[in-house]
Amino acid sequence: MNPRWEKYIRRYEGLNLHPYRCPAGCLTIGYGHNLENGISRQTAQYMLQEDLQQTCRSLRKQFIWWEKLDEVRQFVFVDMCFNMGISKLCTFKKFLAAVQRRDYPAAAREMLDSKWAGQVGHRARELTEMMKTGEYL
């Protein structure tokens, strides 16, 4: 690809980091990328990696003790935060208190006793078991 072409497209399209409707009405992001055309597997993989890095940054910032958890329980937090966002995860007060005191069976019960568990079903049951046992399924 010609670098000059990219330079012109960047200049003409402009960068939009949030989705918007272009003049033709298409949902667009970045440098004029039409989201209605989908994305490549490579782009999806890159986005997942970026999102996971942001999730970990949020968890480190919000819960200074998160990195002291074992890998499996860290992952449970990553998955929950990735799925619902840090602000919603922060509303799980009893769950968070149980994890902090390392009462993992109680933390698992609190996970299941939530609207989130009903919404994600099997995913919640697996994560609950991982929280309880400290082992990947």
Q: What is the pLDDT of residues 3-51, one digit of tens each?
A: 999 999 999 999 999 999 999 999 999 999 999 999 999 999 999 999 9
3-class secondary structure per residue, the chain: CCHHHHHHHHHHHCCEEEEEECCCCCEEEECCEEHHHCCCHHHHHHHHHHHHHHHHHHHHHHCCCHHHCCHHHHHHHHHHHHHHCHHHHCCCHHHHHHHHCCCHHHHHHHHHCCHHHHHHCHHHHHHHHHHHHCCCC
For residue 1, what pLDDT is reported?
Answer: 84
Indicate the average pLDDT of the chain: 97
Percent of residues, the chain, with pLDDT higher than 70: 100
- Please give the domain boundaries of the chain with CATH numbers for all domains: 3-37 (no CATH), 50-133 (1.10.530.40)
For residue 128, what pLDDT is reported?
Answer: 98
pTM to 2 decimals?
A: 0.91
